Amino acid sequence: MENVYRTPDQAFADLPDFPYEPHYLEWDGLRTHYLDEGPREGPVALLLHGEPTWSYLYRKMIPPLVAAGYRCIAPDHIGFGRSDKVTDDRWYVIDRHIERLAGLIARLDLRDMTMVMQDWGGPIGLINAVAMPERVARLAILNTWLHHEGYAYSPAIKAWRDAATNRHWLAWTRHDLPCGAIVRRAAVRPVADPVALERAYEAPFEGSIAAKAGARRFPWCIPYAEPEAGAAERQAQAFEALKQWAKPVHVIFGEADPIFPASWGQEWAGMIPGTTFDAIERAGHFCQEDAGPEIVARLLERVSASNSR
């Protein structure tokens, strides 16, 4: 395919706390990357990132999940991480991300899945979950949402979309979405090495403004402004389907997130039968960065309690 950027492997060399080998599948002529760690037999933890991150976001959660016996699959959406990056912004609509994830699940024949989802990983993952419930054991919903009638978008998410779609602001940044700085500045807990953290989240783009098309497009697709590109109808259908969901759901939100606040997570949990809710103190929007091991510990406690009933 024309207009595709493939990040050189050396851009990912020596990232801190990230010793994982890459794995690839072809999808619609594009190379899509995923991590595959842990035992090949047994339950699967499917770890889905959002904007503007990649599978690096889950590096703190993979070791305790593997220690608990999970096979961890952490894919990079097209446009992110080690996956190919279409450089035409117009290519990116949420339906393509949904279809690409469905293809990966089918190709790897993933079953008995605990789906862990945050930010845009929520709509992309949950639409797939309700379409293939036979493959899903449980849902772990981190800071995210599903668009539906009456959903109250926070002032923070509206401000984020306005900034991220403002060409004058993007030109002023000189980096056309400073992905690394966005993650670092959202941290609630102290960051041991801010420079290394920023480098890790900029690595997939290696200084290429064109390669950030996918990161630019995610905020543009937020469905209160772009319902078709944002798969608004499919999101609303998944939201309604979850009200009849019969398998365990664990909602775990960073309590300091202004984008998807914990109050929304608690309200949402109350709409899904039997769902648990936990708020993680001193964790923000990128809760995996602030409290990855703590989230895993809380999830495993909930799974154990659910299994013992």
Tell me the C-alpha distance between 214 and 28, whole Å: 16
Between helix 94-108 and helix 121-131 the angle, nearest 10°, is: 50
Average pLDDT score, the chain? 95
pLDDT bucket at 174, cuts 50 / 70 / 90 = low
Is residue 175's pLDDT more than 60?
Answer: no
Say yes or no to pLDDT of 67 above 70: yes
Structure tokens at 50: 């959002």
**Mean of pLDDT values over 27-41:** 96
Domain residue limits, the chain: 4-307
pLDDT score of 172: 56
Distance CA 234, CA 220 (A): 17
> Residue 176 has what pLDDT?
75
Secondary structure letter of residue 225 according to DSSP: T
Q: What is the mean pLDDT of residues 262-282?
A: 97
Considering the domain delimited by 4-307, tell me its CATH architecture.
3-Layer(aba) Sandwich (3.40)
- The H or E element containing residue 278 is strand 276-280
Whole-model pTM: value is: 0.97
Report the catalytic residues. Answer: 119, 257, 285
Distances from the Cα of 16 to the Cα of 59, 165, 193, 246, 294, angstroms: 9, 31, 9, 40, 20
Question: How much is the average pLDDT of 8-16?
Answer: 95
- Angle at the Cα of 237 (from 235 to 241), degrees rounded to 5? 115
DSSP characters over 139-194: EEE-S-----TT----HHHHHHHHHHT-HHHHHHHSSSS-HHHHHHHH-SSPPS-H
User: Which pLDDT belongs to residue 42?
Assistant: 85
